[in-house]
Amino acid sequence: MPETLTNPPLTAADRCDRCGAGARVRALLPGGGELLFCGHHANEHEERLREVKATIVADERAAV
Ligand SMILES: [Zn+2]
């Protein structure tokens, strides 16, 4: 399986999948999907992300 992980910075166009706020975290799923979360929802779903072995490729929660 080719490793084509890119890590583009989060922009204002990136929106939380849950509430539509500006995304602070991007997570890649093992199956290839991508999830975007605001800080609030990233915290809320972090455990779940670990359970499904998602990889957090961008985390700008600290940058707020
Ligand atoms: Zn959110």
Instruction: Give the per-residue pLDDT at 6.
Output: 60
Q: Tens digit of pLDDT for each residue in 5-45?
A: 566 789 999 999 999 999 999 999 999 999 999 999 999 99
Please tell me whether residue 46 adopts helix, strand or coil conformation. helix
Q: What sign results for the dihedral spanned by CA atoms 28, 33, 22, 6?
A: positive
Residue 43 lies in a domain: yes
Q: Could you tell me the distance, in angstroms and rounded to a whole number, from the CA of residue 4 to the centre of ligand 1?
A: 27
Residue 8 lies in a domain: no
Residue 1 pLDDT > 60: no
Q: Could you tell me the distance, in angstroms and rounded to a whole number, from the CA of residue 1 to the centre of ligand 1?
A: 32
Range of the domain at 42: 25-63
Q: What's the domain count of the chain? A: 1
Residue 9 lies in a domain: no
